[in-house]
Amino acid sequence: MTLAELQNAIEELPEDQQTSLAAWVAARDRAHWDGQIESDFSPGGRGMGLLHSVKDQVQKGRSRPLSEGKRRR
């Protein structure tokens, strides 16, 4: 089935089924995104360097946790 055929088939669905399909696609996307984030920030993941860099900046006083709010000048 081509994308155009799929789009036409979706257009022919009743509105409640289109809504259910949209919810399913959104949940599937969220699950994929969550899995990617978990993978990136697991030991050896692509995001670990960034995480270590941020922790280092906080320890050296160059940054601070968001919970402390905006720095006043």
Structure tokens at 19: 């809504």
Q: What is the DSSP letter of 68?
A: G
Which range has the worst mean pLDDT, 1-5, 38-42, 57-61, 69-73?
Answer: 69-73
* pLDDT cut 70: percent of the chain above it: 96
Confidence of residue 66 (pLDDT cuts 50, 70, 90): confident
The alpha-helical segments, DSSP class H, found in the chain are 3-12, 15-40, 48-59
Say how far residue 8 (Cα) sits from the centre of its chain. Answer: 29
Q: What is the pLDDT of residue 73?
A: 63
pTM over 0.75, yes/no: no
| Residue in 51, 54, 23 with CA at minimum distance from that of residue 38 | 51
7 has a pLDDT exceeding 80: yes
Q: Cα–Cα distance between 62 and 54 in angstroms, integer? A: 9
